[in-house]
Structures are given as C-alpha cells and as structure tokens.
Amino acid sequence: MLELEFTARDVARTRFALSPLWEVVAGVRILKNDTGEFGLFRPWAERARQRLAAAGLDWGLLADLVPAPPRTIPLFVAPPPTTPLADLGVELAVLRATPVEQVRSGLGGRRAPRSARLEALREDPRRGLAELAELVEAYWEIALAPYWPRMRALLEGDVLHRARLLAEGGADRLLGDLDPAVGWDTDTLRVRHLHARDTRRLDGRGLLLVPSVFAWPRVFSITAPGWQPTLRYPPRGVATLWERRTAVAGPLAAVIGRGRARLLAELDTPASTTELARRTGMTPGGVSQHLTVLRSAGLIDGHRTGRYVLYTRTEAAEVLLTAAAEGLGH
C-alpha cells in the first residue's frame, strides 16, 4: 500500500493533465504482452501491430525501455507533463532536454531494464535521447495518431466529470472517486500498489492526476524526489472505447429522428463534433446542425476544453434514453 499524505496546500495545488507521451509508453507495454491480460485493447493492439509491421519501424528501443515486472520503466522516459494541454511536441522537448545524470541514474538502478540498446543510450545520452524522441514521433504517427481523437475525448471527458465532482462535493468527492484501487481518508490517499509499500508526504507540491487509457487496469504513481508527485489512473468508459456502437432504432428515433437519436446514444462519454462525425459517418456540418437542435431542446450541453468543445448529455436526455430503452423492452 502506498500512502500519500496531504496538507491543505497539497489539496489546493492538485491538478489534472493529459500525457500523450505516457500513452505511447503504456501502449508499448500492451503490445509486448501476449498473455491475454489486455484483451480489452485487442482491437487496437492488433491494428497497431499490423501498422507497425507494414511501416517496417524498428521500435526495439521503446520495447526495451518498457520491461516486464519486477524491472521498472525509467522515469525520464515519460516524466510528469508540465502543461495541462495534451501536446506531444512539448513532452518530447522535455525528453530531449533530460539531464545526462537523470538518464544514467534511471538506467543504472537495481530494477532498471537491461539491453545493449539501453547501454548505448546510457553511454551517450544526448545522441540516444534524440534518437528516442524521433522513434516516439514515428511510433505515434503509426500506432496512436489515428486513434488519438477518440482517446483524447474520453480523457478530457473524464477531467470534466471530475471537475463536476469537485464542484459538487469538494476535494473529498474528487479524491474519493478516482479508482477502486484508490481510497481517500481525511488527509491521506491510499493506493493499492504492486511494488510500493511506503508513506510519502507531498510537502506542498500537490498531486498531478493524469487519466490514462492504457494505464488500465492499474494505477501508476510517481513519488521519487525531484519529480512532480503523480498518479496515472484509468478514466471512466475505457471498456467502451473500442466498441462499435449501433444506431438507436424504435420509438426515440421516430420522435427525434434517427441521426439525433444516434448522436445522443454516442454521447455516453463526452465527444467533439469531429469525433462524433468520425464515429457516425455523418458530415461535420450535419453533426453540428443536429447538435444545435439537441442543445436548443435541452438534451445536450457543450463545454469548451482548449480548442475543442465537448458535448455531453443532460439529465433530460438520460431520462429520455432510459424511457425509450424500457419501452423497447416491453
């Protein structure tokens, strides 16, 4: 059990961020695993492996940096993000600028991964980090970029949900609802952890909360000195991320139209106009027109997140969908 002790200042400085670089690292962990543990991600993993093979990309260095337990991923590979925006370019700039001592320390520990490629990185960190950043960019474009809009919508929707919990019940509600493996009691966050058995004081640094698709089913933590204390946890709705949704039929579609009924069904997690168009096959203009009508009717809300507007169902829409589902069951 890992215990994180909070002060009032720590609660005040707790924040959220997204990390595309961490999703790369955590995704590699899934691609390397053939035991069936990550069956939830099989649709993505199969496509990603095919795309990587077709591109002929040698991602061995990334694979070496993400070892199986009990060896651990060096912290410098995916440090806590410095900005709340999901910007891979910013994270790679931080990676390239990692101090030489941090690289060598991360690769020299008792539980650090071992390989000839990693020894070369340890011997010449500047050259190795530049090569690693280029590899991450190439891997991203092949294995993750096609799926990132939907992943980002899910992650941003989770942050939006937790912001509502904070507004409704304060920090107690927010920290008490992160994950089944996380418990909150007065001033201590308790995390069920595979390896850590320790109590750490945050000492006024706050906690960085990073929702992560590929962290599932675990919670990952960073508590080492010199790094922002961080908790990476699975967001709500991961199990539905790769499902193919079908259009809503029956009474609801007959009342509000098949297109609008389909959009309401798709909004079981927050999504942008672009993402809804991708999922449904409608044009972005058509989706926008339907969303305008649904919003005017009080069935959806829009919330700006950076450059994007995420749409969510209102309570009235939930009631309507529940009634339609129950009606179909009779």
Tell whether 40 and 132 lie within a shared domain: yes
Q: What pLDDT is stored for residue 330 in this prediction?
A: 47
Q: What average pLDDT does range 270-292 have in this prediction?
A: 90
Q: What is the pTM of this model?
A: 0.78
Cα(110)–Cα(71) distance, integer angstroms: 8
> For residues 301 and 269, is the Cβ–Cβ distance under 8 A?
no
> DSSP H helical segments within 109-209, as ranges?
116-123, 125-139, 148-175
Tell whether 157 and 256 lie within a shared domain: no
The percent of residues in the chain predicted with pLDDT above 90, rounded, is: 62
Tell whether 136 and 28 lie within a shared domain: yes
Per-residue pLDDT band for 9 (boundaries 50, 70, 90) equals very high
Cα(146)–Cα(151) distance, integer angstroms: 10
Q: What pLDDT is stored for residue 247 in this prediction?
A: 43
When divided into structural domains, the chain yields a total of 3
Q: Please report, for the domain that includes residue 310, its CATH number.
A: 1.10.10.10
Helix (H) or strand (E) holding 280: helix 273-280
Which among 149, 166, 195 is the end of a domain? Answer: 149
Query: Is the per-residue pLDDT at 328 higher than 70?
Result: no
Tell whether 29 and 115 lie within a shared domain: yes
**Sheet order of strands, 2-5 included:** 182-185, 188-191, 2-5, 198-201
Tell whether 7 and 66 lie within a shared domain: no
Least confident stretch, 34-48, 75-89, 281-295:
34-48
Tell whether 37 and 181 lie within a shared domain: no
> For residues 181 and 192, is the Cβ–Cβ distance under 8 A?
yes
Which among 149, 175, 202 is the end of a domain? Answer: 149
Q: Which residues constitute the domain of residue 201?
A: 2-15+151-236
Structural tokens at position 235: 């967001």
Query: Is the per-residue pLDDT at 94 higher than 50?
Result: yes
Tell whether 92 and 185 lie within a shared domain: no
For CA atoms 202, 205, 206, 207, the dihedral sign is: negative
Structural tokens at position 49: 């492996």
Tell whether 169 and 281 lie within a shared domain: no
Tell whether 161 and 40 lie within a shared domain: no
Per-residue pLDDT band for 249 (boundaries 50, 70, 90) equals very low
Query: Is the per-residue pLDDT at 327 higher than 80?
Result: no
Cα separation values, 39 from 36, 46, 120, 217, 243, Å: 5, 11, 34, 11, 13
Tell whether 164 and 213 lie within a shared domain: yes
CA atoms within 13 A of residue 173's CA, in its CB half-sphere: 10
Tell whether 250 and 308 lie within a shared domain: yes
Q: What pLDDT is stored for residue 270 in this prediction?
A: 78
Which among 236, 258, 278 is the end of a domain? Answer: 236
Tell whether 157 and 106 lie within a shared domain: no
